Amino acid sequence: MQAEFVGQLINRRKAFPIRLRNTLAENYALRELADYRQDFVTETKAARAIRRTSEFVGTVKAGGGPAR
């Protein structure tokens, strides 16, 4: 799903800004780290993930827009 979103809606159709390209993959990697590894997720990393997610959801709700 991540690759399709990036490939189709960001790269091909330009429906969403390029800055959202890595959001899903970065947040998924952080979730895997938290769920399946012994390493801890720092407060800073969690805060960044929340900020990325808020921007992502807000942009999707707004309907995307031209790549910026």
pLDDT digit string, tens, across residues 16-65: 999 999 999 999 999 999 999 988 999 999 999 999 999 999 999 999 86
User: Greatest CA span in the chain, whole angstroms?
Assistant: 40
41 within some domain = yes
Confidence of residue 13 (pLDDT cuts 50, 70, 90): very high
Specify the pTM: 0.85
**CB distance 62 to 51 below 8 Å:** no
Query: Does residue 66 carry a pLDDT above 70?
Result: no
50 within some domain = yes
Domain count, the chain: 1
43 within some domain = yes
Residue range of the domain that includes 11: 2-61
66 within some domain = no
67 within some domain = no
Query: Does residue 67 carry a pLDDT above 80?
Result: no
* Residue pointed to by tokens 């809606």: 9
